[in-house]
Amino acid sequence: MAFPTSQFHPLAGRTILQIIPELEAGGAERTTVDIAEGLAQAGARALVATEGGRLVGELQAKGGVWIPFRAATKNPFSMMVNVRRLARICYHERVALIHARSRAPAWVALGAARSLNLPFVTTYHGSYSGRSSVKVLYNSVMARGDAIIANSYYTGDLIRSVYPQAADRIRVIHRGTDFSVFSPSAVAPERVENLRKVWNVAPHERIVLLAARLTGWKGQKILIETAAKLRDQGVRDVAYILAGDPQGRDSYVRDLENLIEARKLTGVVRRVGHCTDMPAAFLAASVVTVPSTEPEAFGRSAVEAQAMGTPVVVSDLGAVPETVLSPPAVQSHERTGWRIPPADADALAEAVGEALGLGASARIALGARARAHVEHHFSLERMVASTLDVYSEQLEGHFTRRTS
């Protein structure tokens, strides 16, 4: 992915350090690598302090520098030692700003930043639960940044409700999607055909997809009930695919299998495990569902599916509605998907049925609108540029405060 670069970029020649527990394949980790790449292309040095992980190689290939660091520890004594260690690293590497993306390393980063009088930025990649005074205090480090990045307006509102003193430091920057990867033209037909074969989907069957880890609040049971309702309404030749890793939730998997059997949907609703080719999965689907029963901090699946031109049906709670245009918020001809009440199998069945019933012209038009919508609001370039702007503003403001 190419980002705008310039020898006159305000960050050129500066060193920015991000800290995160590990660089595995999650959203926060992916964003860390994306920002490091943007920094490198802007002429800055992009350091990432982390234990390691599968994305370290990609980080280095894209111009980032891995600083091996025990960032995942939550042991109070180890964290105190880490403050001094991180401060030494920042001093010797001439770090200009520290950006923390998780709570435990954020406490370490806060201590190091304050000891060196450096700007401190945090990002809320999700909403942090916990109502006890101890938990609220632990979470509060993410609201102590000189700038606080929220990954959605929903997340921003949550921060304000718990930490009202942080309101004027919150910046909403939605997670960015690489639309060169999530593009119908980038997916060879063979990739789609391969997935259909792996999922044992017949040529005449359409796919309704729910791509999420197998856990109760992601709504797999709601989709199973929806499949039964649509079958009873005469909707045939549809495969309902549950793509996701159970992550050890064996009892929940048994619940899903029992419900599938009870509704006589064996072979119609299928668990297929984790999917490694999501662009092909979204392109293969006739409808993508995000029927979460608890609020999502962002709507990545909804954005990526819309980028592939696939109709989406999402629960109208949390941050996901920010990514999908639907009546009554817009006119019907401006729709990019459907929003439904959470945990409502009847509403989900109605919306999925409507999406499955779209004619070719209507489906193409909806897909084009959806693609244009997410390209404008949720691009990787937009996220990187906005984040680098926050860094520049903090460095300029910090310099002004220190010299005034």
Q: What is the pLDDT of residue 133?
A: 85
CA-closest candidate to residue 259, choices 297, 214, 293: 214
Give the pair of three-digit tokens for residue 258.
Answer: 């029992």
Q: What is the pLDDT of residue 51?
A: 97
Contact 47, 17 (CB under 8 A): yes
Contact 92, 116 (CB under 8 A): no
Average pLDDT over residues 246-263: 95
Cβ-count burial of 234 within 10 angstroms (0-12 exposed, 13-18 middle, 19+ buried)?
A: exposed
Contact 389, 395 (CB under 8 A): no
Q: What is the pLDDT of residue 399?
A: 56
CA distance 296 to 360: 31
CA atoms within 13 A on the CB side of 195: 25
Is the confidence at residue 237, as pLDDT, over 90?
yes
Q: What is the pLDDT of residue 126?
A: 82
CA 297: distance to chain centroid?
A: 8
Neighbours of 6 (CB within 10 A): 10
If you classify domain 15-176+379-403 with CATH, what class do you get? alpha beta
Same fold, 15-176+379-403 and 184-377: yes
For the full predicted model, state whether its pTM sits above 0.75: yes
Is the confidence at residue 404, as pLDDT, over 50?
no
Average pLDDT of the chain to the nearest whole number? 95
Q: pLDDT tens digit string along 320-357?
A: 999 999 999 999 999 999 999 999 999 999 999 999 99
Q: 3-class SS at 47?
A: strand
Question: Which residues 6+ apart lie within 8 Å of 228 measured at CB?
Answer: 263, 264, 265
CA distance 105 to 35: 18
Q: What is the CA radius of gyration of the chain?
A: 22
Contact 19, 86 (CB under 8 A): yes
Tell me which residue has tokens 């072979």: 267
Q: What is the pLDDT of residue 8?
A: 78
Read off the pLDDT band of 6 (50, 70, 90): low
Q: pLDDT tens digit string along 166-214?
A: 999 999 999 999 999 999 999 999 999 999 999 999 999 999 999 999 9
Average pLDDT over residues 224-253: 96
Give the pair of three-digit tokens for residue 35.
Answer: 């920002």
CA 42: distance to chain centroid?
A: 24
| Residue 25 or residue 98, greater confidence | 98
Is the confidence at residue 26, as pLDDT, over 80?
no
Q: What is the pLDDT of residue 278?
A: 96
Cβ-count burial of 87 within 10 angstroms (0-12 exposed, 13-18 middle, 19+ buried)?
A: buried
Q: pLDDT tens digit string along 122-173?
A: 999 887 777 788 888 899 999 999 999 999 999 999 999 999 999 999 999 9
Task: State phi, psi for 231 to the nearest 5 degrees.
Answer: -60, -45
Give the pair of three-digit tokens for residue 70.
Answer: 């025990």
Q: Is the dihedral of CA 104, 105, 108, 113 positive or negative?
A: negative
Cβ-count burial of 252 within 10 angstroms (0-12 exposed, 13-18 middle, 19+ buried)?
A: middle
Map out the domains of the chain as residue ranges: 15-176+379-403, 184-377
Task: State phi, psi for 239 to the nearest 5 degrees.
Answer: -105, 125
Q: What is the pLDDT of residue 114?
A: 98
Strand order, beta sheet including 97-100: 64-68, 45-50, 15-19, 97-100, 120-124, 147-150, 170-172
Is the confidence at residue 403, as pLDDT, over 60?
no
DSSP 207: E
Instruction: Please provide the CATH number assigned to the domain covering 184-377.
Output: 3.40.50.2000
Is the confidence at residue 398, as pLDDT, over 70?
no
The amino acid at residue 72 is A
